[in-house]
């Protein structure tokens, strides 16, 4: 059986991989139609991360500081990649709608 930390780490890895792929394609000049599927996958991956954090009661447990710090680093990297991607899309006139 997989522990909750491993599931969270897997979701983080998927989200990071998808975010990096999205950024690479944006930097290469991909058309908006080409990035929509990646944006959807990224959204789903990040939703998985959120869901796993919610299973921890919204807070990462302190009993595994090394794993917590690693996940926190992944989350910081996700936020950094998201900011860069949004900036690139904004400069190209791509506007994102938020989901309700």
- Residues 21, 15: Cα–Cα separation, whole Å: 10
**Is 4-91 in CATH node 1.20.58?**
yes
- Residues 40, 67: Cα–Cα separation, whole Å: 27
5: how many CB neighbours lie within 10 A of its CB? 18
What is the residue-averaged pLDDT of the chain?
86
The residue among 65, 79, 97 whose CA lies nearest residue 12 is: 79
pLDDT of residue 76: 95
pLDDT of residue 21: 95
Residues of the chain with pLDDT under 50: none
Note the pTM of the prediction, 2 decimals.
0.82
Quick one: how far is CA 88 from the chain centroid? 17
The residue among 91, 89, 72 whose CA lies nearest residue 36 is: 89
pLDDT of residue 11: 92
Q: Residue ranges per domain, the chain?
A: 4-91
């Amino acid at each position: 059986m997989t522990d909750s930390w491993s599931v969270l780490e897997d979701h983080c890895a998927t989200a990071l991989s998808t975010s990096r792929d999205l950024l690479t394609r944006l930097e290469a000049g991909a058309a908006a139609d080409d990035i929509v599927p990646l944006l959807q996958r990224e959204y789903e991956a990040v939703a998985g991360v959120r869901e796993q954090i919610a299973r921890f009661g919204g807070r990462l447990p302190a009993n595994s500081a090394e794993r917590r710090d690693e996940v926190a680093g992944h989350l910081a990297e996700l936020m950094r990649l998201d900011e860069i991607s949004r900036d690139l899309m904004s400069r190209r006139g791509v506007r994102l709608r938020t989901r309700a």
